[in-house]
Amino acid sequence: MTALLSLDGVTKRFAAGSDMLGRPTAHLTAVADVSLSVAPGETLGIVGESGSGKSTLGRIMLRLLTASEGQVSFDGRDITGVEGRDLRRLRSEMQMVFQDPYSSLDPRMRVRDIVAEALVNQGMPRRQINDRVAEVLETVGLSPEHGARFPHAFSGGQRQRIGIARALAAKPRLIVCDEAVSALDVSVQAQILTLLRRIQAETGVALVFISHNLGVVRFLCHRIAVLYLGRIVEIGTAEQLFESPQHPYTQALLAAIPEPGAGRGRIEVPGGEIPNPIHPPPGCAFHQRCPRMQPQCRERRPDLAERAAGHHAACHNPGPMGAETDPDRRKDR
């Protein structure tokens, strides 16, 4: 199947310091050499700790940020350098649902105006706008009468439904959800995830679901990409990553899922924090925290290699969870 969205070697750097003349003296690499694709109607999960580059990658996909290197394509068209009117037209096909349902909605606007923004920008007639706003509010489980209210009148879960309605209004082909349920109670999270699954089944929209929680994305996603320090360390189907994770970082995320039988206690979750992206370590970026570190891990970055059909991992010593580690390999850590 032809990809709807594809990224090829995408890197994003930010200036992290400047001299007296304003010239950059250091750079932070938030995303490094990422290549992936999203098919029409597919849900791709992107997971990793805070600081792994997930949100930056999502914004690059929607051209809210421009890649420093690499290419972003949508429906076979290179959109890396698209600007102005062409970019505005593109935005109707690509939308985002943000993390915080409280700050992502303008408190001075009524719900109907929030949901209608993209339609107004498209120049749609007012009657059609009103009909479409009522339709999408019902789609997300709200009443058309709710359109007359302001955001403060709603709970967090209802506000996130409004955010989803806003994203759906222009009938996009791709929606990026950036930690869209992390600020919600567990019971409300389940409702929103079920809603997104139903919307995708009814509309065929492609979803990119960004999260730090593998347990959440398992319910929703067809494939999952695991990001560490801006790089993909493992990518495969949800079944492959949960049944046969190959990278120690993926295994650590699985072991941290607070659900019975989901993996807690199978391996020791590595301590420490994600390294400084301004001064990343040589070799494999995860080697300082890895329970299976070998000498070559400090010296050479592993390639993202195929371990099974459609399942790739970037590790010099891949293997199943709970694999024994040779102490001699770790003595120089």
Tokens coding 89: 């037209």
pLDDT tens for 89-146 read 888 899 999 988 888 899 999 999 999 998 998 888 999 999 999 999 999 999 999 9
Q: Which domains occur in the chain, in start order?
A: 5-93+172-268 (3.40.50.300)
Averaged pLDDT of the chain = 89
**Does 215 score more than 90 pLDDT?**
no
Alpha-carbon distance 176 to 97, whole Å?
Answer: 6
Alpha-carbon distance 234 to 260, whole Å?
Answer: 24
| Location of structure tokens 């290699």 | 305
Q: Would you say 199 and 205 are in contact if contact means Cβ atoms under 8 Å apart?
A: yes
pLDDT tens for 221-259 read 999 999 999 999 999 999 999 999 999 999 988 887 765
Tokens coding 55: 């949100």
pLDDT tens for 58-70 read 999 999 999 999 9
With cut-offs at 50, 70 and 90, classify the pLDDT of residue 263: very low
Alpha-carbon distance 72 to 145, whole Å?
Answer: 40
pLDDT tens for 250-262 read 998 888 776 554 4
Residue 17 pLDDT: 79
**CA angle 236–164–160, rounded 5-degree value:** 100
Mean pLDDT, residues 311-322: 88
Hey, how many other C-beta atoms are within 10 angstroms of the C-beta on 278? 12
Q: Would you say 206 and 213 are in contact if contact means Cβ atoms under 8 Å apart?
A: no
Q: Would you say 225 and 66 are in contact if contact means Cβ atoms under 8 Å apart?
A: no
Tokens coding 240: 């492959």
User: According to the 3-state scheme, what is the secondary structure of the chain?
Assistant: CCCCEEEEEEEEEEEEEECCCCCEEEEEEEEEEEEEEECCCCEEEEECCCCCCHHHHHHHHCCCCCCCEEEEEECCEECCCCCHHHHHHHHCCEEEECCCCCCCCCCCCCHHHHHHHHHHHCCCCHHHHHHHHHHHHHHCCCCHHHHHCCHHHCCHHHHHHHHHHHHHCCCCCEEEEECCCCCCCHHHHHHHHHHHHHHHHHHCCEEEEEECCHHHHHHHCCEEEEEECCEEEEEEEHHHHHHCCCCHHHHHHHHCCCCCCCCCCCCCCCCCCCCCCCCCCCCCCCCCCCCCCCHHHHHCCCCCEEEECCEEECCCCCCCCCCCCCHHHHCCC
Residue 264 pLDDT: 41
Residue 212 pLDDT: 86
With cut-offs at 50, 70 and 90, classify the pLDDT of residue 23: confident
Q: Which amino acid is at 307?
A: R
Alpha-carbon distance 134 to 333, whole Å?
Answer: 60
